[in-house]
Amino acid sequence: MKFAIALFSAAHAPSSRRALLFAQAALAGGHEIVRLFFYQDGVHNASGSVVTPQDELDLPRQWRTFVTEHELDGVVCIAAALRRGVLNEEEAGRYQREAVAVGAPWELSGLGQLHDAVQDADRLICFGGA
């Protein structure tokens, strides 16, 4: 089965951990992940500037490792990211900001990427959000 996964919750939220566990289990079960799409507060899961306390799980690091190891398509909604100050080098330069929080393996792109993923997937699984 082909899955598209959308994550709407921040890095410290339980649903972010559940999303990662689901994605790991899906691949372990022989399924395919067409795309991971991080939207709303979910963009913080792709941020390299999140500092997690030592006694907590570092989900942004775990997501980055997971996406890199499995060569997955990890897309961060550009509008949601800009609104939250989660910028890549190109956007930081465009808006004259010093902070760069997103790099490889993430891609900043629009909601059209989620639409395309839904067209290619058998199921869209969403985590978090209201």
Closest by CA position to 66, among listed 46, 89, 43: 46
Q: Of the residues 5, 77, 80, 108, which is catalytic?
A: 77
- 126 catalytic, yes or no? no
Dihedral sign for Cα 72, 115, 12, 45, please: positive
First to last CA, the chain: 27
Dihedral, 22, 28, 33, 35 alpha carbons, nearest 10: 60
Kindly list the catalytic residues: 77
